[in-house]
Each structure stands twice: as structure tokens, then as C-alpha cells.
Structure 1
Amino acid sequence: MKCIHDLCSSRFTQWKSDLHKHYEPYDGPEVALEVGCLIELLDRRDEKEWLCGHFQDEKYLKKVKANSINRLKKKLLHRSGSRRFSYRRSKFPEIDIFKEVYVRPRDELTENLHSTMVEKGQIVLEEVAS
């Protein structure tokens, strides 16, 4: 459940970020409502109005400004690529523990069991992603 919750949370955050990037070029909420309309919000004017109001909200603007300032203060940048750290962690720590405890070189049985676990884990993640 944690894996599904994390995946849904990150997708919602990315979607909201994409909406904000789409909204930014317009001069104000009125222009954004009339001119800039995403396909997914085409027939939902009340949701577009809420979204434009949200992007104009003082609390939201303070948070955006604080995040920008904090990014500028960073002294060290991670070198692990563009993927988030949460994706670098294994989604199935039990499989990793099995590998550490049971899989030994030239032990075909445990290597095959571990490979099967990894494959099934990938299938689960692909199903959740779709």
C-alpha cells in the first residue's frame, strides 16, 4: 500500500506542477481561464477557476518562493541522476534481504528463486504504474 500511495502522490505532484507550468505564461487568472485550457479541464470551468485561484493564493506563492530560495542555498548536489532517491530504494526490501541472506555464488536454486522474485516485483510495479 505504501508503494501505491507513494506512486499516486508523486504522480499528483507532477500533474499539479505541469498545470502550474502551463498557467505561468498568462498575465492573470482571467486570461488563463479564457485562453489557456488544458484538454483535461476543457469542460470543467469550476475546477479551472479553483486552480487559477490556487496558483494566486498567498500561501502557495510563499511556498514557491521559499522553495526557490532553499534551492539556491544548496551547497552540494547529488550525483545519482534525475531519478528521485525514493525510486533508487528497492520497492521490495524483502527481496533484497533474501538475496543478501540466501543467494551465494554458484547456487542455482537460490539464484533462480531470487530472479523469479525480481521478475514478479517488476510485474507488480508495471501493473500499478498502468
Structure 2
Amino acid sequence: MLKQKQNVRQTASKIKIVYDQRHRGAATSQQHSFIASSCGVVIRDNCPFQWESWAEIPEDTKELVRHELSFIYDLDDITLEAMAYLEKTLSIRYKHWKNNFHNYFKKWDNLEIARLHVPSELKDRPEDWEWLCKHFTDPNFVKKSVAGQKARESKILLHHSGSKPFSYRLEKRRQVKLY
């Protein structure tokens, strides 16, 4: 996000999110990476983790996140498709951030030990870690988690290959073959 802020300062204009129908996302893979990174930073710094998903987060918190992004990206003159892409990216980054904490939580043998080992990112937000610990031991969450893990293990094809959508990689491969 530092690179994007520096770009905004140097050009004295916000970055316009260019939406590409073919990729169903940002027009370039570089812009997609910048947006995904920025969304992750803003969520990390501004979103409490006391909701199960991005959809459950109160609108005033979502507005705060969008406001933080508006310092870098031009959100005043944005198409509906680009805004939907941005919302989907925010949702994915929120889910990934919580997943990182779930993986950290699974390192410990039981709930009491896990509670004592607050991740460094949440040292100043212990209420979030407490909520996450309870959430990760909730029988409904455990049931969904186990079912999802089994479903992922049963897949034989990789559907994701890093942070860039497959359509960008496919296009790059086609461009290389043309030369």
C-alpha cells in the first residue's frame, strides 16, 4: 500500500480502478495485486474480527474501510462492476485474514493454551483474539471447517495458483506464445 500512496502523492491524483469484463476484475494483474494488497492492509488495520463473514459486518465499518481506500483509489467515479469487484476483494481478504488466525490457532492443543498465545498482530486487540478462539471452537464452525477441508482434499484440479486470477496467467501465456 506504500507504493500506491507514493504514486498518489507524486501524481497528485487518485488511482482509478479500471474494470475488465473479460477478467471480471481489474484490467491488469498489477492493478489487481495492488488492490488486493491495499484491501488486506485496510482490513487488518480497521476491521474487528467479531463477525463470521464480510457480509455480517455493519455498514458503518464497511464505510470506514471504503473511506480508507478512498485516499488511494478514486471511489467517487467508479462503475457498479468495479465496486462489486472491490467488495468481493474485501470479502476475500477478510476471509483470508481470519483463515491466517485459524491456522495459528490450530497450532495449540486446546482452547486455554491458544488464548494465552495471542498473535502479535492482535496484541493490542485481545478481545478479537478471544472472540476468534471461541469462534474456532464453536461446534458449527468446526463442522463447516472439517467439511470444507474434506471437500478441498477431494479435488484433483488446482483452481487457484497464487494471488492472481487464472485468466491473467492464461492471457500472459498466450502473449508469450505470440512472440
Q: Distance in 1 between matches of 2:152 and 2:98?
A: 19
2:99 maps to what in 1?
17
1:17-37 per-position Cα deviation (integer Å, ceiling 9, x unaligned): 100111111112211111x22
More helix by percentage = 1
Residue 168 of structure 2 corresponds to residue 87 of structure 1? no
Q: Distance in 1 between matches of 2:128 and 2:162?
A: 31
2:84 maps to what in 1?
2
TM-score, normalised via structure 2 length:
0.43
Amino acid in the other structure paired with 1:26 = W
Deviation at 1:89, TM superposition (A): 4.9
Deviation at 1:45, TM superposition (A): 2.1
Q: Distance in 2 between matches of 1:67 and 1:11?
A: 18
Equivalent position to 2:137, from 40, 47, 56 = 56
Structure 1: 5+ residue runs without aligned partners?
A: 91-130
1:2-27 per-position Cα deviation (integer Å, ceiling 9, x unaligned): 11101111111110110011111111
Q: For residues 32 and 77 of structure 1, do their structure 2 counterparts lie closer, same or farther at Cα, with a shift above 3 Å needed?
A: same
1:98 maps to what in 2?
none
TM-score, normalised via structure 1 length:
0.57
1:52-109 per-position Cα deviation (integer Å, ceiling 9, x unaligned): 00000111111111112222333x414x66147x93458xxxxxxxxxxxxxxxxxxx
Q: CA RMSD in A?
A: 2.2
Q: Number of residues paired by the alignment?
A: 86
More relative contact order, 1 or 2 (CA 8 Å, 6+ apart) = 2
Contact 2:114–2:133 (8 Å) recurs in 1:
yes
Question: Which runs of structure 1 show a deviation greater than 4 angstroms over 4 or more consecutive aligned residues?
Answer: none
Structure 2: 5+ residue runs without aligned partners?
A: 1-82, 169-179
Q: Distance in 2 between matches of 1:20 and 1:81?
A: 20
* Identity value in percent: 31
1:77 maps to what in 2?
157
- 38-47 or 61-70, which moves further after superposition? 38-47
Amino acid in the other structure paired with 1:73 = S
Deviation at 1:41, TM superposition (A): 1.1
Which has the greater radius of gyration?
1
2:74 maps to what in 1?
none
